[in-house]
Amino acid sequence: MTKIPHLICPAGSLPALKAAIDNGADAVYMGYRNDTNARNFAGLNFDDKSMREGVRYAQSNKRQVLLAINTFAQPGRVADWLRAVDGAADLGVDAVIIADIGLLDYAARHHPDLRLHLSVQGSATNYEAVNFAQREFGVHRAVLPRVLTLAQIENVIRNTTVEIEVFGFGSLCVMNEGRCWLSSYATGESPNTVGACSPAKYVKWEKTADRMSTRLNGILIDSFEDNEPAGYPTLCKGRFEVNGLIYYALEEPTSLNVLEILPEIARIGVSAIKVEGRQRSPAYVAHVTRTMRAALDMLASEGQPYQVKQSWQAELSKISEGSQATLGAYSRPWR
């Protein structure tokens, strides 16, 4: 019988955490309200009190809590990241998600009972990298970047005993999973350490008689007619002029959605499916969690064949970027 992957859902706030648990998540991932968290947005994330309440709520419902300490420790401030790892162990979370090799080493040596997951920001795209993390630091799970085909993921799984987690819904990234060189070049700040691809302080909206233009630190990202919806100006998802043509040259505003290939993901041995979106609302978390839970439950059912329901796609379409969905790198027919 095919093992059904665990459903890992985002918790950018206590209400979002509860929405994920109440709608069927097997685990939530969350972060501190500081620079150790790659989604360190104002007004989101957890202080010590809310984090303890979140851990208590999840674990009392027999669900797991994964704590993301997924930025890279900065020179002169390494102690802040070490304290975050110590705090995770004290909280009794089920695992920590770490990208920084130095932090993995610290966690493995000082907290040998703390389960370690390799963050997607560690950019492990092959089984040699995954096995290195296991051999050196005892990593139990690796989150793969959203750049691999299903065949490539299957090859990784076939050559490692480390659990493999992949993304199943949410925004895509065309760079090194949060370590965006484009945004760093445009703003001088790494998304890994400031929590956003396009930090709000660099964003400017310009309204003219019939258009709305968006700029990032002075760079024109997109221009919308009055009847067009104007999305947040993420640099890679803007329209640019290339050889006289204006189009989405790098990435379209669209969301990953793996519902139609869920059986294949389970068949190749993926251990967990992750939903992106700690910066999103509790309503978003509830919608996606509920839909993905229903799909995974159908996949687990021996009494009915798996079939994607129209209602599932309609539900996810409402909260997809640009109301569009893609299989991303999972399906590359030209290869």
238 with 273, same domain: the answer is no
**pLDDT (0 to 100) of residue 293:** 98
Residue 179's pLDDT band (cuts 50, 70, 90): low
Residues 147 and 293 in one domain: yes
Dump pLDDT digits (tens) for 76-108: 999 999 999 999 999 999 999 999 999 999 999
Domain match, 209 and 305 both: no
The whole-angstrom separation of Cα 172 and Cα 250 is 11
Q: Which domain holds residue 223?
A: 194-247
- 30 part of a folded domain: yes
Is 103 within the bounds of a domain?
yes
Same domain, 205 and 316: no
pLDDT in tens, 206-265: 988 888 999 989 988 898 888 887 777 788 888 888 899 988 888 778 889 999 999 999
In contact, 167 and 273? CB cutoff 8 Å:
yes
Average pLDDT rounded to a whole number, residues 114-128: 95
Beta strands in 51-188 (DSSP E): 64-69, 95-98, 116-118, 141-143, 163-170
Distances (CA, A) of 68 to 46, 100, 305: 11, 11, 36
- 265 and 220 in one domain? no
User: Does residue 334 register a pLDDT over 90?
Assistant: no
- Domain membership of residue 124 (yes or no) is yes
> Does residue 180 fall inside a structural domain?
no
| Co-location of 138 and 203 in the same domain | no
Q: Same domain, yes or no, for 32 and 81?
A: yes
Say if CB 299 and CB 265 are below 8 A apart.
no
Same domain, 57 and 121: yes
Q: What is the domain count for the chain?
A: 2
Same domain (yes/no): 17, 73: yes
Do 101 and 147 fall within a single domain?
Answer: yes
* CATH number where 27 lies: 3.20.20.60
Q: Is the pLDDT score of 190 beyond 60? A: yes
Residue 44 lies in a domain: yes
Same-domain pairing of 268 and 219: no
The mean of the pLDDT values for the chain is 91
- Give per-residue pLDDT as tens, 125-151: 999 999 999 999 999 999 999 889 999
**Could you say which of 247, 280, 308 is where a domain stops?**
247
